[in-house]
Amino acid sequence: MGKKRSWPFAEATQIHQRRSRRGESNDKPVLYQTGYGPSGLPHIGTFAEVARSSFVRTAYERLTGEATRLQAFSDDMDGLVKVPGNIPDGDRLLRPHLGKPLSVIPDPFGCCDSFAAHNNSKLQQFLDAYGFDYEFKSSRQAYEDGEFDEGLIVLLQKVDEVLQVILPTLREENRDGWSPFFPICPACGSVYATRVTGYHPERESLSFACDRQADGFQGCSESGELSIRGGNVKVGWKVDWALRWFTYDVDYEMSGKDLIDSVKLSSRIVRVMGKQPPVTMIYELFLDEEGKKISKSVGKGLSVDHWVDFAPIESLLYYILQNPQRAKRLYWDVVPKAVDDYLEALRRWPQVPEDEREDSDLWHIFAGASDVPSYNAGVNFTVVNNLISALGSDDKDLLRDFLLRYDPAIGDFPDVLDNLVHKGLNYYREQVLPDKVYRDPTAEERGLLLQVCDRLEASEISGEDAEKRLQSIPFDVAKEAGIEPRSLFTSFYEVVLGQERGPRFGTFVQLVGKERVLQMLREKVG
């Protein structure tokens, strides 16, 4: 039995097996596709889908030596169903256009041809900023240029078979009149107020009526016949993937677990159309601090830009690479641990055997072993945050001096040192300082913290076991007082540091120095 491969290589193997079964020529590049709905700005989920697809793409190229492509596809012909909550003055600017395709709605920011064009531009800037190798595809352009025409004709010819697949999955009240096609009203421009009243495969057209209404939009009563070519109609969400897969012969696409049913239906429909579905992977969702799905229309959760303000982009790639089948929360508190995990992986890299490196996280992040940076110091993001919190100083030179005394090895990595200090200060100012609340100690706490102060003053902080001896001080004080050590540590954090959690006491003393810790204790407890 061969060794268990990392998930990108496992996915790449499935793609290769699919192509081998179909007898596809190696001259045809393998096509990876990702989807984006431009009803809101691209968020960290969009970034993760492109990044993870890129991991699989790199693994496939290493596995087979074959050429690959990655398309970032924007569904900009979708209709707007609600006003996004994060658009300034959105009610006034967007509500009159509910039900219309995103590609014809005026840009509320006033800088692009449409709302979709604005968000498409942001998507491309977003992906370009992080160096992704991709091709941008617009749904509107594909419809208008006729790229979907062949697939639309097949769908029209096989509409009864498609309905047999879809209708059983719908509620009884939604089945009557359901169609895979959404005509775009030539009079009012709505895509969601129209309904299909007849199919004419012999003329490659359909009849429609614009007489539906829903919350925020109402049909204009126009009716007539439309060619399915040239962007006059689009397909609905349950058929959209099948049309894309059919048209472009997509080999691989991943999606969130909330779209499992859509993937199954699209796979059945593309088979009805006469082709095979791609390899698909379902990943767990990104959640905000409250455990809710991150939404691009609401804007909650941690953005990529914010992450990069606080931490290196590689730490985010490292975080999202870990087990895509496990849900991940994306909010401020995950950043320090993600950075520390990434730095620890860099430290371990030289010890990873050559024959295991391809399956390591760092190999995927850097697309090969040769580009993995060197790092072998004990300073991490948590250490830097603890130091900044203790010193309360914006003086970068002072912070560097403390860190160099704490671990001289960090001097061999000046770029990492500067980056950690710079981003640590950003994190402290925005995420730590606003929540700092110092409280006065109780009489009992004052007595215990004074004992910690006295014993620390009498202690020796040098030697091999110094950190262990320093760490034992609050433990011994708590034990002798008959209280839980955790309770004393909480008192220290809240009284001395103004926060609910904090560093190990021994590490903290070695980091900021015995005299500084004594000064902090005396200022708070006398």
For 86, the 3-state DSSP assignment is coil
The per-residue pLDDT for range 161-176, each reduced to its tens digit, is 999 999 999 999 889 9
Of 70-79, 185-194, 283-292, the one with minimum mean pLDDT is 283-292
The per-residue pLDDT for range 88-145, each reduced to its tens digit, is 888 999 999 999 999 999 999 999 999 999 999 999 998 998 889 999 999 999 999 9
Sheet holding 279-283, edge to edge: 135-138, 68-74, 30-36, 252-256, 279-283
Evaluate the CA torsion angle 76, 81, 82, 88 in order and state its sign: positive
Helical packing angle, 485-492 and 443-458, nearest 10°? 90
Structure tokens belonging to residue 249: 């012969």
Structure tokens belonging to residue 316: 């985010």
pLDDT at residue 408 tops 50:
yes
User: What is d(CA 117, CA 125) in angstroms, rounded to the nearest whole number?
Assistant: 12
The number of beta carbons lying within 10 Å of the beta carbon of residue 393 is 14
User: What is d(CA 448, CA 488) in angstroms, rounded to the nearest whole number?
Assistant: 8
Q: With CA atoms as reference, report the closest residue to 324 among 366, 280, 264, 282.
A: 282
Residue 438 main-chain phi, psi, to 5 deg: -85, 140
Question: Mean pLDDT, to the nearest integer, of 16-40?
Answer: 87
pLDDT of 2: 56
Residue 437 main-chain phi, psi, to 5 deg: -135, 110
User: What is d(CA 18, CA 28) in angstroms, rounded to the nearest whole number?
Assistant: 14
pLDDT of 1: 43
The per-residue pLDDT for range 418-464, each reduced to its tens digit, is 999 999 999 999 888 888 888 999 999 999 999 999 999 998 877 77
For 512, the 3-state DSSP assignment is helix
The number of beta carbons lying within 10 Å of the beta carbon of residue 215 is 9
Residue 181 main-chain phi, psi, to 5 deg: -105, 145
Which residues does residue 208 pair with via DSSP β-bridges, in sequence order?
Answer: 196, 224
User: What is d(CA 294, CA 289) in angstroms, rounded to the nearest whole number?
Assistant: 9
Residue 248 and residue 43 in contact, taking contact as beta carbons nearer than 8 Å: no
pLDDT at residue 300 tops 60:
no
| pTM attached to this predicted model | 0.88
3-class SS string, 227-268: ECCCCCEEECHHHHHHHHHHHHCCCEEEEEHHHHHHHHHHHH
